[in-house]
Structure 1
Amino acid sequence: MQLKAALAALLPASAVATIKIPISKLPREEFTAKLLTAGSHKPPTLMSAKSSSSVRGASATSRKLGGENIVIRDLGNAQYYGSVQIGTPAQSFQVVFDTGSADFWVPSAACTKHESNCHKKQAYDPSASTSYAAVEAGAKSEFHIEYGSGPVSGDFATDTVRLADDYDVEDQTFAIVSHTTGLGETYKVASFDGILGLAFPILSQNPDAPTVMKNLMEQDSSITLHMFGFFLGDEANGELTIGGYDESRISGEITWVDLLMPTYWVAPIDSVKWGTQTLSDGTSSGIMDTGTSLIYAPAAIATAMANSLGGMFYPQVQLYLIDCDTPVPDLDFIVGGKAITIPSEDLVLQDDSGEFCFFTISSMNFGSQESTGELADEVVEQITQLAGTSGLPVPDGMDTWLLGDTLLRQIYTVWDVDQEKFGFADLA
């Protein structure tokens, strides 16, 4: 794959194919209302394999090329979703493109009939697709994943998946889910049907089955670069580019860092600075997650930050209430020697009454026995073997931040699967 990427980098831009997917964003008022709905917001949890069964479920010279379009909308300023088609003839679904997970699932008719939060979703009908097939004998057939909010389960199958109008991925393994109770009311009001994970296969509930991205690369010779780029518009349209990145979106050079390990998109952080304070210096890592809206810090750091603002924790929304007049410093993450700055105004949410403000840094929980954010035991074992230490996808002694769209919309991001690198650049 490295040779493939190197050769592709030598080609003119017109010879490198990409799929370009426009994205848009919920109005800030609608996002705030959903986030501050009691019971709808649950902080993610990563767990050490030592304490339980653990964790949820391009080279710099590469170039971009114009391609097909898929209309995508952003749910809750965090979940960017768009149309994906499955089957022959095609059945259309809205799916979240999520760098924090690696599975692809859509609802079944049983889900829309029996699950209260699934009634209005688009259901996949295997009997209506001539390209549908059950998984091969001996392959994993049952699907079960735990997200931070709860379980989703169903059965694996295979069918043709289409991205945009011209990119078919044949015999793609995906899950047809029948149980979505664990996603709660958030899923009921969401505009997406399913999730298409963009993390590494080791996080998948079926790591022996290639992901959509991997199959696309292997089946379509015009897609020569196994990478993608995200521009997350802030009150403006954005774009997901598959097969490269969009040079017109960036200013200056791309800063690249090697991933700590190819599980989540987890990158080393040089330091974290909050105003004049240094919160972390060379001992942090960041999970880059397009499926998460806010920033989640290690619990001790989040608590200290909130206390310095006079914050009061509201368990109903899992956020700290602060005085709207409290000055909040900018937050800087130094990654690869370059600062990613989150301005103070993006660290505060104000409710629709205008009377209450909430600090948008929440706690990332680690090691809690009560956690619902767990992967299957075999996935944890694989991560443990890869890391050589614990089930967490970072070296021992490092704390971990979960960096969602609050950070990712400040920059253009490039996700290089082949080279296991994360890149970012200033926005044009």
Structure 2
Amino acid sequence: MSLSCWNIILFATVIFVVFHINYVSTMHSVVNGVSNNKRLGASTHPPTIVPIKSGRMDLSNVFDFSRRQWATKLVERLQKQEDILLENVTSRLSWNFGYDKPRKVQNLVSKRHLMEKSVSSLNGKQNWSQKNIVRFPEQQILGGVVSVGMYYIELDVGCGQIIHVQVDTGSSTMAVPLSECVNCKQHDRRYDFSKCPNATRGEKIPCDSDICGANTCYSSYCGSCSASTAACCSQVDNSKCGFILRYGDGAFAQGTVIHETVTIANITFKTYFGGILKDSPSFELTEVDGVFGLAFPLLACNPTCLTPVFDDMVQKGLVERDIFSIHSDLENGVLVLGGSDDRLYDGTLEYSPLINANEPEFYEVECEEVTVSGTNVDLPHFKTAVVDSGTTLIILSLDSFLALKRYFQAHYCNVSGLCGEDGDPDLSWFDPDYCALLEDSEIRQLPNIEFHLKNDVLLILEPEDYMLKVESPNLLTGEIEIYRCLGIHYMQHLERMGNDMILGGTLLQRYYTVYDREQMRLGFAKAKRWSDVKQVLDETRQPEKGTDNVEASQPSQSPFASTSPTPRTNEEQGELSHSSSFLDILSSYRLWIVVGASIVGAFAILSVVGIILYRRRRNRYAHVDEAEAASLTSTGRNDQDDIQLSTEESSSLMPGTRA
């Protein structure tokens, strides 16, 4: 084979390798969680739409999103006390950026192949000035809808041990992993009783204690039953009061009821909550270890009915009023205990009454109408809505979701990718399985979605709000690609559970929400952006002595009461930043190493094949040459003999020739 043929083969191999890696990098884009609205290399090609995998995933594997999940959760209503163990199941849908086989249909790319190598959740925490006014106890919220899939706070348990717990207004339970947990994530954020002094150390509640709920032992999750009260004993430790938390997707956590000191927003007190001794692989996340439920007491039986932590704070007079409020932005927020903070929102608060105020379970309000840019959309199920900070997206019933999708496709097909690709209308970014590369100009062509709540409360979501922005650097070029993912999903049979829709993080990141449990109402106002909130809070100074802006029982510290015993220094933040930058650089170089190694490997394989073929050909020609040489030698000798014989015959026939 000629040298030019080998060059052609090598060139074709290199082109194939580069094309394949570029394809894989597109399919497995890494979402950049660091907020950066600058788009590099904006394109005019049709949208690339990325299928989302259902099922909660471990954040240690996401994102490289670190697999950041998009989790939704719905706690089923409790009907009767005797059904608590059977019915107290949280049904939750999870939307992750998980990873199966690459799936692409022309310009559609599955959402499950979006990944994030985000460090936003690590760098999102900031240490604030100790000179800020504290009107009510406030705690900084970390996480985000895209960066983590939920919001969480740092809870100080016992003697300064930090546990990350999800801020969840859709449940009433608080639970943290214990050091004895047999299969919890192996990191430092597990509560260890032995690290606290004996004098202040809490306890695990015995199964025969009066605290442990009587007549609750009728579940397979109970290890045994107490002889005196038929209480549910822990399956992991039969001598302790059982704690069980189950979810509709199969995830679970179980352990024991504990009584221990906690610190929230610099308020320290002892309370009862769940200590996890065993959980399923899908329960605990890398950034979030446990849960901090803020709903009503009817949801706090697991199976022993405990007073929810916030209710306990109210009953003990640790907060001024039975009110809390939440500000949540893309990556940060504020939890305000005892009231609201007018520095965190614009305009005035508008209130809508809670449904079932006499026996409340969720924060549920009446939804009178849903409109799209002022036009009524006839949704089959939209009469009630649960406001849940533990749900990532807005969740509709399947019928309502399909009705909204049909309306969009009937009026806004000018937006790329909305009305399907490859002749299939289901291959659309309105399908929850896909995300799309869309220009900002196309986003502006989409309509507002308005939720009309009782008492003329109007909640407006602009396209920028419900088309969630996911930044993803192309691994080959390094350019930032901005995917848009619809922040609305559906749950089949949602209406059968007594709820028509769930208003989760997609809405709550835009609205400051006040949970007024005294007057059984929810208040809404447009939330200020985090950059403005941070600036206002940093500029606010503590009042001089004699002022009454700060409650005597409340510490005059930062409204972002970091419960960490050793706040990060600037040097540590710098090291973290440098480390993250180094990882980013290493990641980009790693791609080129793979490309180079692929080219070198292909060249080496082709070279070996070429050498083998060359040697075979040379050996074959060598054998042919030897055969031809032997043949020529034999022919030469025969010719010489013939010539000699011919000469002798000629001489004998000539006359006068001497004998």
TM-score, normalised via structure 2 length: 0.48
Question: 1:91: Cα distance to partner?
Answer: 2.1
CA distance in 2, matches of 1:314, 1:43: 22
Letter paired with 2:448: D
Q: In the alignment, which residue of structure 1 is the partner of 2:565?
A: none
Shift of 1:192: 2.2
Q: 2:383 aligns with which of 276, 280, 284?
A: 284
Measure how far apart 1:318 and its partner are.
Answer: 5.0
Q: Residues of 2 paired with 1:28 and 1:417: CA distance? A: 35
Give the Cα–Cα distance (whole angstroms) in 1 for the partners of residues 330 and 483 of structure 2. Answer: 22
Among 298, 309, 312, the alignment partner of 1:215 is: 312
1:124 Cα deviation (Å)?
A: 1.0
Letter in 1 for 2:187: K
For 1:86, the equivalent position in structure 2 comes to 157
Selected match of 2:404 from 305, 312, 317 = 305
Deviation string for 1:224-261 (max 9, x for gaps)?
A: 211011111246x5321100000222334322222112
Task: Determine whether 1:132 maps to 2:180.
Answer: no
Q: 1:109 aligns with which of 163, 171, 179?
A: 179
Aligned-partner Cα distance in 2 for 1:263–1:174: 18
Q: Secondary structure at the match of 2:518?
A: coil
Q: 2:255 and 2:248 mapped to 1: Cα distance?
A: 18
CA contact (8 A) 1:54 1:391 kept: no
CA drift at 1:303: 2.5
After TM superposition, the structure 1 = structure 2 runs for residues 219-238 of structure 1, keeping only pairs within 5 Å, are 219-220=316-317, 223-234=319-330, 237-238=332-333
CA–CA distance in structure 1, aligned partners of residues 77 and 152 of structure 2: 31
3-state SS, counterpart of residue 169 of structure 1? strand
Structure 1 residue 413, shift from structure 2 partner: 0.8
Specify whether residues 286 and 359 from structure 1 end up closer, same or farther in structure 2 by C-alpha distance, changes over 3 A only: same
Match of 1:405 in 2: 505
Q: Corresponding residue for 2:189?
A: 122
Letter in 2 for 1:274: V
Counterpart among 333, 336, 340 of residue 245 in structure 1: 340
TM-superposition CA deviations, 1:342-392 (whole Å, max 9, x none): 11122224652548643221112326xxxxxxxxxxxxxxxxxxxxxx984
TM-fit CA distance, 1:321: 4.6
Letter of the structure 1 residue corresponding to residue 141 of structure 2: I
Overall identity of the aligned pairs, in %: 22
CA distance in 1, matches of 2:365, 2:72: 20
Equivalence map 1:15-414=2 (5 Å): 27=34, 34=63, 40-41=69-70, 44=73, 53=87, 56=90, 66-77=135-146, 78-87=149-158, 89-111=159-181, 114-115=183-184, 118-129=185-196, 130-135=200-205, 137-138=209-210, 139-140=212-213, 141-147=241-247, 149=249, 150-165=251-266, 167-170=267-270, 172-181=271-280, 183=282, 187-189=284-286, 191-206=287-302, 208-220=305-317, 223-234=319-330, 237-261=332-356, 262-275=360-373, 276-280=375-379, 283-307=382-406, 308=409, 309-310=418-419, 312=426, 319-321=433-435, 324=438, 325=442, 327-335=445-453, 336-349=455-468, 352=472, 354=481, 357-366=484-493, 392=497, 394=498, 400-414=500-514
Q: Give the whole-Å Cα distance in 1 for the aligned partners of 2:179 and 2:521.
A: 39
Q: What letter matches 1:199 in structure 2? A: A
Structure number with the higher strand fraction is 1
Separation (CA, whole Å) in 1 of partners of 2:450 and 2:308: 34
Question: 1:301 deviation in Å?
Answer: 1.6
Q: Distance in 2 between matches of 1:73 and 1:296?
A: 23
Q: Are residues 299 and 158 of structure 1, via their aligned partners in 2, closer, same or farther at CA, if it must alter by over 3 Å?
A: same
Change in 2 beyond 3 A, CA 1:35/1:220: farther
Aligned-partner SS, 2:383: strand
* Higher relative contact order, structure no. (Cα contacts within 8 Å, ≥ 6 residues apart): 1
2:227 is matched with: none
Q: Deviations over 1:8-31 (max 9, x none)?
A: xxxxxxxxxxxxxxxxxx6468xx
| Equivalent pairs, count | 356
Counterpart Cα distance in 2 of 1:48 and 1:359: 28
- Kept in 1, the 8 Å contact 2:327–2:344? The answer is yes
Contact conserved, 1:95 with 1:194, CA < 8 A, in 2?
A: yes
Q: Are the equivalent residues in 1 in contact too, given 2:89–2:247 (CA < 8 A)?
A: no
Q: Does the Cα contact within 8 Å between 1:292 and 1:404 map onto a contact in 2?
A: yes
CA contact (8 A) 1:288 1:404 kept: yes
Partner of 1:6: none
| Aligned partners of 1:319 and 1:359 also within 8 Å | no
SS at match of 1:213: helix
Is the CA contact 2:178–2:192 (under 8 Å) kept in the aligned structure 1?
yes
More helix by share: 2
CA distance in 2, matches of 1:243, 1:328: 39
| Aligned partners of 2:89 and 2:248 also within 8 Å | no
Maintained 8 Å contact 1:273/1:333:
yes
